Amino acid sequence: MSSKHVYFVRHGESVANATGIRQGPKSQLSEKGRIQASAVAKRIAQLPVGCILVSPYVRTTETARPLIDASCPASVEYSELFIERVNPSIMLGTKAGVPETEQIWDEIAKHYGVPGWRYSDEENFEDLILRAKKALTLLETLPERTIVVVSHGMFMKVIFAYVLLGEQLNGRTFWDKFVPAKNVANTGIMHLEYTENYWKTGMLWKLHSWNDHAHLDEHTRIAKT
């Protein structure tokens, strides 16, 4: 089996990103986000894309539109496997940094290493890892050799962490080491390769790049013209 390459693309800036609001599925791209989506589409168009997988959230489907137009021969599928981490519904629409929101995050942070614990109706660590495994299995079974996934920052961190640590990854390590430190810009790209391992005994995932945003201005995060 020849190797395959998967490019995860985070959505462009959303209105909720710009205003600091905890967002659900319906947050749209801002004007800046639409510019970013156009820029990453021009870059992705240089690849021989065979398949595009898209989270069905509004901000990801809007990010994917110019990318789909630029890669018109590619097949397109919308999949719930690639949605963002589901936060407690009580937090949706609230502004980041307010005391009520911070109290919830403090509780989640305190218990993130406790197997099975959840604050209310959110996805916990076990839920996210199970979904990440299912997402990687889907990607492994697709016949296309070059795949683009339009997804979300936190879920990309889960994939990133699992590819690096595998079954050694736990909730405490993920929350303490990967959540705060491994940021990804809007339309930042994570490039993974699924290929035979060094000893030719099986297949594995390899990380080639994380948070590649060469198509954006480094300081302003505004797309280059």
Query: Which pLDDT tens digit goes with each residue over 102-160?
Result: 899 999 999 999 999 999 999 999 999 999 999 999 999 999 999 999 999 999 999 99
The pLDDT of residue 217 is 85
**What structural domains and CATH numbers belong to the chain?**
4-212 (3.40.50.1240)
Kindly state the tokens that stand for 95.
Answer: 């502004």
Mean pLDDT of the chain: 93
User: H or E segment at 66?
Assistant: helix 58-70
Mean pLDDT of 21-49: 94
pLDDT class for 219, splitting at 50, 70, 90? Answer: low
Tokens standing for 38? Answer: 């156009």
CB within 8 Å of 214: residues ≥ 6 apart? 43
Q: Are 150 and 53 in contact (CB under 8 A)?
A: yes
pLDDT at 1 over 60: no
Helices (H), 124-174: 125-141, 153-165, 171-173
Q: Is the pLDDT of residue 58 over 90?
A: yes
Phi, psi of 73 (to 5 degrees): -75, -15
> Token digits for 109?
């942070």
Predicted model pTM: 0.94
- E-assigned strand segments in the chain: 4-10, 51-54, 75-78, 146-151, 189-196, 203-212
Amino acid at 168: Q
Distance CA 38, CA 127 (A): 33
Tens digit of each residue's pLDDT (9 = 90 or more) over 80-118: 999 999 999 998 888 888 888 889 999 999 999 999 999
| Contact call for residues 80 and 57 (beta carbons, < 8 A) | no
Q: In this structure, what DSSP letter does residue 84 have?
A: P
Q: Indicate the DSSP class of residue 149.
A: E
pLDDT grade for 220, boundaries at 50, 70 and 90: low
- The per-residue DSSP string of 94-132 comes to PBTT-HHHHHHHHHHHHHTTSTT--SSSS--HHHHHHHH
Residue 225 clears pLDDT 50, i.e. is over it = no
Give yes or no for a contact between 86 and 125, defined as CB atoms under 8 angstroms apart: no
